[in-house]
């Protein structure tokens, strides 16, 4: 009988389900793609059902359902922190206790009820072990050190593991409330962005500034001689305040926080000098925290190298999605090779929980492989065609591969911005050519147009390129980051040629966050890039996630068409169909 394992992450943010059969990952998806609520934390009932449907199974066939963390250990941390921070935790205690006593403490029962499995089949990994497993067992190394860094799991905020044929061996951890992720999140909130959502924006904004607040930040986050770090907790309140992550002392140190939604005046020629100075201060703060994080991570991985004795490093946890930091780790760190899979956040925890149960506990044989993130749902072409017809969108069927790619390339070359929905959806936050918005990166105004008229988001945010593998020289990927090429998990300097020819995908500081696409991995997408290369000499496209600001990546055909209708996209390619902009009568209003 095949062994069916369902991994589940939920109840904090980015709920997901991942299905493995006899050690093979069959399907994985995030609940947000079904519910349309970004970072949806609720139990991933729809995602799990889709995974089972994909495999032709039902809930009765699940041999093990593995939750990605241990709720009782997490509750212990919350309760003891409330006690240790008495009386400052007065506001957070009732809120936390209500959430836990009324809901999260009964996770096993909720899982049994929601997924229809027997209680004795429900197991629990540890939060950081799930992350570590998702990085190591998805990676290309026989042996590696594994570093997990995020906000917090049960107790650990940073943990070190040694991965090898015998499994994952824990080597050490830094515990709550000292957390790299939470310092970065506190600064994210300080800069007026939503925590667990705006960290990318801080990273993007950092390129506009200089780290002139580094000295101040070195005082609130110290690097320790043991290879760890310590936060000065007088400046932070994540451990006792229910909603605010920093205290007035941080405000006294760094000046007033940026109001949410404040305009970014550095890109506005008509802005006043005062507004520009204020935006520059915000960018400098972002640059300072980015610089602090990079130095802290370098400090930590030097310890990891020494302690583990391994040559290669896998990184996981939300902090591992900091592509700018990953470049410095690859360039200046002691490891020969790095690997970061693109679902390094909590969604990947579902995958890791299932992998840990399969390989680490059941002892199934495992071998290094090339990770493919396209584990999610694909769209039924017949249903899509019906929907398009019913909604009255103009549509053209292009059943022949060459005709489809020629037409898409022609659209892009004429300056159109396209939605691109092909094959199975990606797991994790990165659109890697399956649920993407694409544009010709050569236009000087392309970035601004896609930001403000298509994505409806902040104008300072950068775009990343997809590049055909044979033109990898367009970017200066450090040798240690070679394994990150396919996943957009590292930012690196753009070549002079890319800077000159494709300004839309090069950030203000000359960096870019590439996805290198091979014909073997993704023949259709590679074919499109190749056509762009034939026409322009540059086998590259601007590739950004197919969503609007504040929304998850598109899941269904309706989501794709709704996005087309609500912004200035020119067309969407869904499988072999080219769907054009809808006539005004469809849009109403």
Rounded Cα distance between 304 and 585, Å, is 60
C-alpha dist (Å) from residue 210 to 253, 259, 389: 17, 20, 52
Span interacting with another protein, options 72-80, 286-294, 495-503, 537-545, rule CB under 8 A? 72-80
**Cβ proximity to another protein, 171 vs 336, nearer residue:** 171
Which residue among 24, 53, 58, 94 contacts another protein (CB under 8 A)?
A: 94
Which of 18, 325, 347, 561 contacts another protein by CB under 8 A? Answer: 561
Q: Does 71 bind another protein (CB under 8 A)?
A: yes
* CB burial of residue 271 (10 Å; 0-12, 13-18, 19+): middle
Strand ranges in 212-326 using DSSP code E only, listed in sequence order: 221-223, 229-231, 312-316
Q: Which one of 7, 8, 20, 93 is in contact with another protein (CB under 8 A)?
A: 93
Identify residues 300-329 at the interface with another protein (CB under 8 A). 303
Closest contact distance (angstroms) between CB of 379 and another protein is 11
CA 173 – CA 175 distance, rounded (Å): 6
DSSP-derived letter for residue 154 is S
Could you say whether residue 298 binds another protein (CB under 8 A)? no
Closest CA to 44 of 10, 86, 92: 10
Cis check for the bond before 497: say yes or no (omega within 30 of 0).
no
Spell out, one character per residue from 339 to 378, where the chain touches another protein: x when CB under 8 A holds, - when not.
Answer: -----------------xx--xx-----------------
Kindly tell me which of 296 and 517 has the beta carbon lying closer to another protein.
Answer: 296
CB of 588 vs another protein, minimal distance in Å: 4
Binding of another protein by 59 (CB under 8 A): no
Between residue 484 and residue 523, which ones bind another protein under the rule CB under 8 A? none
- Per the CB < 8 A criterion, the answer to whether 316 and 341 are in contact is yes
Kindly tell me which of 386 and 534 has the beta carbon lying closer to another protein.
Answer: 386
Using the rule CB under 8 A, is 248 a contact of another protein?
no
Tell me which of 3, 21, 35, 334 binds another protein, using CB under 8 A.
Answer: 35
Using a 10 angstrom Cβ sphere, with 0-12 exposed, 13-18 middle and 19 or more buried, the burial of residue 508 is middle
Q: Could you say whether residue 184 binds another protein (CB under 8 A)? A: no
DSSP 534-573: HHHS--EEEEEESS-TTSPPP-SHHHHHHHHHHS---EEE
Q: Please report whether residue 271 would count as binding another protein according to CB under 8 A.
A: no
574 forms beta bridges with: 421, 577
3-state secondary structure of 27: strand
CB 196 within 8 A of CB 169: no
Listed ranges 40-48, 337-345, 432-440, 485-493: which one lies at the site for another protein (CB under 8 A): 40-48
The end-to-end CA distance of the chain, in Å, is 56
9, 30, 125, 547: residue in contact with another protein (rule CB under 8 A)? 125
Of 280, 452, 536, 556, the residue at the interface with another protein (CB under 8 A) is: 556
Cβ at position 221, least distance to another protein in Å: 10
Separation of CA 135 from chain center = 13
Q: How many residues are recorded in the chain?
A: 589
Contact between 82 and another protein by CB under 8 A: the answer reads: yes
For another protein, the binding residues in 213-242 under the rule CB under 8 A are: 224, 226-231, 233, 239
* Contacts (CB under 8 A) with another protein, residues 4-33: 31
CA–CA gap between residue 63 and residue 335 (Å, rounded) = 38
Min separation Cβ 363 and another protein, Å = 9
Instruction: Report in angstroms how near the CB of residue 573 gets to another protein at its nearest.
Output: 20
Alpha carbon 491 to its chain centroid, in Å, reads 14
């Amino acid at each position: 009988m095949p062994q069916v394992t369902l991994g589940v992450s939920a109840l904090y943010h980015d709920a997901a389900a991942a299905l493995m059969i006899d050690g093979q990952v069959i399907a994985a998806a995030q609940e947000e793609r079904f519910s349309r609520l970004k970072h949806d934390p609720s139990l991933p009932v729809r995602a799990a059902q889709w995974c089972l449907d994909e495999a032709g199974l039902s809930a009765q066939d699940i041999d093990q359902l593995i939750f990605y963390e241990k709720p009782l250990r997490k509750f212990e941390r919350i309760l003891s922190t409330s006690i240790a921070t008495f009386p400052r935790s007065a506001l957070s205690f009732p809120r936390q206790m209500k959430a836990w006593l009324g809901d999260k403490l009964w996770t096993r029962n909720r899982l049994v009820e929601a997924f229809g499995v027997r209680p004795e089949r429900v197991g629990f990994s540890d939060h950081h072990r799930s992350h570590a497993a998702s990085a190591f067992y998805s990676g290309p190394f026989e042996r590696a050190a594994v570093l997990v860094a995020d906000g917090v799991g049960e107790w650990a905020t940073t943990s070190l593991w040694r991965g090898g044929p015998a499994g994952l061996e824990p080597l050490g951890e830094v515990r709550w409330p000292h957390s790299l992720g939470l310092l970065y999140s506190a600064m994210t909130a300080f800069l007026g962005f939503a925590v667990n959502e705006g960290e990318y924006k801080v990273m993007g904004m950092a390129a506009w500034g200089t780290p002139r607040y580094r000295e101040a930040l070195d005082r609130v986050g110290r690097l320790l001689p043991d290879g760890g770090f310590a936060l000065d907790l007088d400046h932070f309140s994540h451990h006792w305040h229910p909603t605010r992550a920093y205290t007035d002392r941080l405000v006294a140190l760094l000046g007033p926080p940026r109001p949410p939604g404040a305009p970014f005046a550095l890109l506005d020629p008509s802005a006043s000098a005062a507004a520009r100075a204020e935006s520059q201060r915000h960018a400098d703060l972002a640059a300072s925290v980015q610089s602090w994080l990079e130095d802290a991570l370098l400090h930590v991985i030097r310890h990891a190298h020494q302690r583990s004795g391994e040559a290669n490093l896998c990184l996981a946890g939300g902090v591992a999605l900091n592509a700018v930091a990953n470049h410095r780790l690859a360039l200046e760190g002691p490891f020969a090779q790095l690997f970061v899979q693109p679902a390094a956040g909590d969604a990947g925890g579902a995958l890791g929980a299932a992998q840990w149960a399969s390989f680490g506990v059941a002892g199934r044989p495992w071998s290094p492989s090339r990770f493919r993130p396209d584990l999610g749902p694909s769209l039924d072409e017949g249903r899509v065609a019906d929907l398009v017809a019913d909604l009255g969108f103009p549509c053209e069927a292009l059943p022949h591969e060459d005709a489809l790619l020629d037409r898409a390339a022609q659209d892009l070359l004429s300056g159109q911005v396209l939605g691109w929905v092909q094959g199975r959806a990606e797991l994790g936050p990165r659109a890697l050519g399956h649920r993407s918005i694409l544009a010709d990166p050569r236009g000087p105004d392309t970035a601004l147009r896609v930001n403000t008229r298509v994505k409806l988001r902040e104008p300072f945010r950068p775009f990343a390129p997809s590049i055909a593998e044979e033109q990898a020289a367009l970017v200066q990927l450090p040798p240690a980051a070679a394994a990150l090429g396919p996943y957009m998990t590292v930012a690196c300097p753009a070549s002079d040629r890319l800077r000159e020819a494709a300004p839309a995908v090069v950030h203000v500081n000359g960096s870019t966050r590439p996805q290198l696409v091979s014909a073997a991995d993704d023949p259709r997408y590679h074919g499109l890039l190749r056509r762009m290369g034939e026409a322009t000499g540059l086998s590259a496209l601007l590739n950004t996630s197919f969503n609007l600001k504040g929304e998850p990546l598109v899941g269904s055909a309706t989501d794709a068409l709704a996005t087309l209708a609500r912004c200035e996209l020119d067309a969407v390619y869904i499988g072999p169909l080219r769907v054009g902009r809808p006539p005004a009568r469809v849009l109403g209003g």
